[in-house]
Every structure is written in structure tokens, then in C-alpha cells.
Amino acid sequence: MLANEGFVTDGRSASSNKGMPVVRIVPQTVPCECSVKEDAEAGIGQVMAQILDALASPLTAEEASPKKKESEPLSRIVFKGDLGEFNRFFYKRGWGDGLPLLPPTEEAVREMLTGTDLPSDHVVGKIEPRYGKATVEKIAVNAVMAGALPTYMPILIACVEAVTEQLAQLGAYGTSTGSWTPFWIINGAVRNDVRVNCSSGSMSPGDIANAAIGRAMGLIIKNLGGARKAVEDMGVYGNPGKYSSVIGENEENSPWEPLHVEHGLARDESAVTLFFPNCYSQIWQYGSDDRGILNTFIYNLQPGRGGLSCLIMTPHHAKTLAGKGWTKPMIRKFVSEFGRVAAYRHPSSHQGGGWTIKRPETVPPSGMDTVAIIPNPDLIKILVAGGPGAFLGLACGSGMVGADFVTKKIRLPANWSKLVAKYRNLVPAYEKY
């Protein structure tokens, strides 16, 4: 294998996961996705001798017949100590996310498991990139660590089902240098049962459901899937949304059918929808009428961000559009058709090496033709959420081939009403001035 020197550890993880723990990897220094021919040739020239040696030299005994690592039997109790010692122990082993964790004691995990009727050893799915088995109990362990409530277990199980769906493309999005983040949209009555915030500040800290559900899934993807920072998750800058990007749809104040109904579920069912953006923008409206709202979206699309996208609008914006006869399909078609950019500005028009041989200001545009930024309306979803105000939201990212929005039904346990009643009064009470 030939790999950029910064990706050798990633290559080792990938090869060992495919049953080739001692595959030969030659590190090289060519800049990632290099488009300058001279830089590429110079970098490869520096390691050509190593490449030839790796290809031609006989296999060692270990390479010819690698031995499987024998793992010792694990105890269910991995640590005893106070809260500070526990957090340092878990952090040093890479099991956390940089914030304090709650100890997943036997008692706490048992309580978390009251949120599902599934047996604790049931395998919900295998999570990429290392295909760890996400059993119900392991989901519960990470949920406890994240500070989740037992009422979140049905949602987390549906989230795991979504993230292990092939169309979600976690194996690409979760490990890419592009720093995509799972964006979770919750629909149905479960939103109100567990108090998922669909209004003001729904993506800010302060709501235990929005915060803990997203955080638990981050720990699950890392600890069970094996997407570890700078080992398998090679995000160049990372993404703060990976702590938690969870929002509910404000169905009660939307003039259109909810997202989960668009995906074929009944209105009285609950569901979670997943996609992976790597950019999120809040944009001040250009005007409060339908033209101003739609122009805000089409003139803020980013060239090169033509993948799965979500237009987020407040109930007021949605009702304004609906009042002028706009439906969701009409909006998607409008944004896809008129969200355009001059062809020379689109990434597909940049040929790399030599494009700026002359001074940049003397390089003329290659034509004033325009291209659609999001060429297919099916790549766009519309979400009604957020509180009062004049801002619109846009979550988007360049797409992976074969990726799509994934919606999974949330299945509630038989004791749901009793469980909800037990935690219903857990709400913040702010001092009034």
C-alpha cells in the first residue's frame, strides 16, 4: 500500500480489519489530493526505491502467515474508583469524547435497559469502520456514559439501525478528511414524550434529549464502530457538530406533512432520519415574503456542496411559503434549478496544475455558463424547526456516491407510558426576572 505519511496508522487499521495486519505500507509525502504534477512526481521519486523493495522482496514468515492476536477474557468490571479517577481511566484509554462521563455501573445500565423490550445481547447492527457489534447492552453502556435517560433507548436503537444502513455511508462519512457529522432529525410523538427541542436554540446546549442523544451516538460510533480521531476518523479540522447535532421537527406548526411521512411512515408513528452534512449555516432572510425566503436559500448555496442538503425554516417562514402556494416538492425543484453558480467557479471546472500559471487576476473565466449546485431535487429535504426570528438554516455537504437520507421507525417498549411518567418532570426551571 502507498499512503500519505499522515495516513499510515489509518492504513494499518483498515488492513488489519480486512484480515491483513502486516500488509506492507510505504509512506510518502505527496500533498493529499495533489493536483500539481511536479509535486506528485517529486514525492513518488523520493520513495520509488522503497516501493520496488516492498513489491519485490520475499515475504517474511510473519507476513506469509500472520498470527491472530489472542485476547484475554474480559471482566465486566473494568475499574473501581471515584468519579475523577474513573474519568481519567476512561479518557486515557480513548473511551471518551473529551467531556466528563458518567460511570456505566451495573445498576445504571440495568435502568437504561428498561427503555427497550429487546434482550441485552441482541445485535442491532455492525458499525463501520471496524464493524463492531452494537448489542443492546453496549448501546446502553455508552448511553449511560453520555448522560442519557432510559427513555432515549428506543431512539438510540433506531439511530444505530440508521447508521448501519448502507445508504447512510458511515464508512465513508465517518472516517473522511471532510469531517462530516451525523445530523439526527426526530419526528413523531416521541419528541414530546422525551422533550426533544424543536424550537428556539434546539441545536444549542441546554436540552438533555438533544444533547445526550447525539453525544451517545458519537460514543457508540467511536467505541463500537472504531472511528477514532486521527486513527480511522481522519477529519482535517474535525467538526463541533460531532458532539451533538439533534433536532426535532415542529410538526404541530408546520403547514406540510412531516419528514417521516414523506418517507412512508404513518403520521402517528415516530422516527429518526439521518444524513451527514459537514457545513451548517444560519442565514439572515433577504426578505420576509416568499421571494425573499427562497432567494436566501439559492444565493447562499456553496459551490462544491452539492450533496444531501437540508433547508431549515421556522414555522413562520414555512407558513409564508405555504400561503403563497409553495409545496415541499416545488421548493426543492426551485432551489435545485435556480441555485446556480458560474461554471468557472464550480470545483468540477478547476483542472489543477497550471490553472494559475499567469497572475491570478489575469486569468479570465472559462465562460459565463452556469451550473446547478444541487443538481437533483431529491438531494434536498425541508425541515420546519426553530424559534421566532428572521434566520434560515442550511445544512449541506458534498456527497458520497450512493448515499441518501435514511429514516428508521422508533419502536417503543410495552412500559413506555410508565417510563415517560417517571422522567417527565426532569426539565430546567429558569429564574424569572
* 190-245 tens-digit pLDDT: 999 999 999 999 999 999 999 999 999 999 999 999 999 999 999 999 999 999 99
CA 318 – CA 388 distance, rounded (Å): 12
Q: What does the alpha-carbon distance between residue 247 and residue 198 come to, in Å, rounded to a whole number?
A: 6
Residues 223 and 1 sit within 8 Å (Cβ to Cβ): no
Determine the pLDDT at residue 235.
Answer: 94
Q: Domain ranges in the chain? A: 2-60, 91-278+410-428, 279-344+366-397
pLDDT tens per residue across span 133-185: 999 999 999 999 999 999 999 999 999 999 999 999 999 999 999 999 999 99
- Give the percent of the chain with pLDDT over 90: 82
pTM of the model: 0.92
Q: Find the helix or strand (DSSP H, E) in which 62 lies.
A: helix 61-64
How many angstroms separate the CA atoms of 137 and 317, rounded?
42
Label residue 354 by pLDDT band (50, 70, 90). Answer: very low
Q: Rounded distance, CA 185 to CA 383, Å?
A: 9
CA gap 29, 42 in Å, rounded: 9
Exposure of 140 by Cβ count < 10 A (0-12 exposed, 13-18 middle, 19+ buried)?
buried
Residue 328's CB is within 10 A of a number of other CB atoms, namely: 22
- The grid coordinates of residue 22 equal 502486516
Classify domain 279-344+366-397 at the CATH topology level. Answer: hypothetical protein PF0899 fold (3.30.2320)
